[in-house]
Amino acid sequence: MTDYRKELMYSYLIVLTICSTVGLQSWRTLFDNFSVNVVGLDGYHVGILQSVREIPGFLALLVTYIILIISEHKLSALAILFLGAGVFLTGLLPSFTGLVFTTLIMSFGFHCYETTNQSLTLQYFDKYTSPIIFSTQRSYAALANIVVGILILILAPFFSYKVMYILFGAVIIAGGFWAITKNPVRQDIIPQKKKLILKKQYWLYYFLTFMAGARRQIFIAFAVFLLVKKFEFSVQQITLLFMLNNTINFFINPLVGKFILKYGERKLLSIEYFFLVLIFIAYALVDSKLVVAGLYILDHVFFNFATGIKTYFQKIADPADIASSAAVGFTINHIAAVILPVIGGLLWMVNYKIPFFAGAFFSLISLCLVQFIRLPQTD
């Protein structure tokens, strides 16, 4: 096996992944305080903006048609430029309308890059290397999250939200311009089909992708809210948990890739879903602040196991289907982003435990169906 680090696409995607992570994390970390303290929004407006942020995830299918006129690696660079522009402009347009506009720009860039990153990684790296590449990207993303958190802690006492958004946006834009000047393509890569592809034989990939989106939304919408609402975690305590999570993930992620290579995706995803059943049930039942903090950390750790869904798809897919199917998968993943928070919010009002029991049920279904993965070369 050749040294993957010598592949031009490797360094190209690592740099853009760091830019993407810094963009989303800086925007998200500053957003709540900026929207309330500077723009003066209420919960209704913030809820709308969170829904707006998920719209581009549905539109990931458009990537299939955009690559008819522009190469995927150039689209990745342009996506980072859009992401950087959205972050840069956020501080300059401190109104609800302005935030809708900048959130859409930022989110289009982020979701477009996530789609092309998955596609390019699966195209340029074989089934023995891609698990390591995805895991390495996640490690760098965790490190970038830590750096962003530290920088905001340092900068916040001295600079306004406007200045911080401009600074972070400028850095990301610079990364996008750097990428535009690079040409990491190889001529031996199998040409991608430039049309929408839905195939019956990919049903398990589609299902697991949807469930991964559902699990993510339950965590985002309700787990952190539980920590604050029931257990009264302070901003400082949530921040410390966040920093600890990313530190652990920085070291855990390389092990995920090695596990896939040694034991295969079925075993990895079975472990994930088995423990998620227990974690979601525990969220609903525990009364200990220390225990729920541990659940929050474990939740983050198992989120990294979703890499196995991507590498599983690589092993069953026609190589020419990867770009289109990555876009389809990303759209399927985001269906839950609109459905679950609304339904889960109504169920929360009945009893806060119901969304977590639903998460346990979803995880149990996933655990059962993931047993249909059959890859003799890895199982």
Q: Which amino acid is at 64?
A: T
Q: Which amino acid is at 177?
A: F
Contact 79, 177 (CB under 8 A): no
Give phi and psi for 41, each to the nearest 5: -85, 160
Within its chain, how far is the Cα of 367 from the centroid?
Answer: 21
Contact 160, 291 (CB under 8 A): no
pLDDT in tens, the chain (379 residues): 456 677 889 999 999 999 999 999 899 888 877 887 888 876 667 667 777 787 887 777 777 778 778 888 999 999 999 999 999 999 999 888 999 999 999 999 999 999 899 989 988 898 889 899 999 999 999 999 999 988 988 888 899 989 999 999 999 999 999 999 998 888 778 777 777 778 888 899 999 999 888 888 787 777 877 887 788 877 667 778 888 888 998 899 889 999 999 999 999 999 999 999 999 999 999 999 999 999 999 988 888 898 899 999 889 888 888 888 878 887 888 787 667 766 777 787 888 899 899 989 999 999 999 999 886 554 4
Output the CATH code of domain 1-189: 1.20.1250.20
Q: Following DSSP, what letter does each residue of 307-356 receive, concatenated?
A: HHHHHHHHHHS-GGGHHHHHHHHHHHHHHHHHHHHHHHHHHHHH-TTHHH
Maximum pairwise Cα distance, the chain: 58
Instruction: For residues 169 and 126, give the distance between their C-alpha atoms in angstroms, rounded to a whole number.
Output: 34
Q: What is the pLDDT of residue 372?
A: 92
Instruction: For residues 177 and 184, give the distance between their C-alpha atoms in angstroms, rounded to a whole number.
Output: 14
Sign of CA dihedral 186, 314, 376, 128: positive
Q: What is the pLDDT of residue 378?
A: 43
* CATH superfamily to which 200-379 belongs: MFS general substrate transporter like domains (1.20.1250.20)
Q: Which string of b and e fits 230-241 if b means at least 16 CB within 10 Å?
A: ebebeeeeeeeb
What's the token pair of residue 65?
A: 């048609």
Q: What is the pLDDT of residue 344?
A: 75
Dump pLDDT digits (tens) for 173-199.
999 999 999 988 887 787 777 777 788
Q: Where in the chain is the domain with CATH 1.20.1250.20?
A: 1-189, 200-379
Contact 179, 80 (CB under 8 A): yes
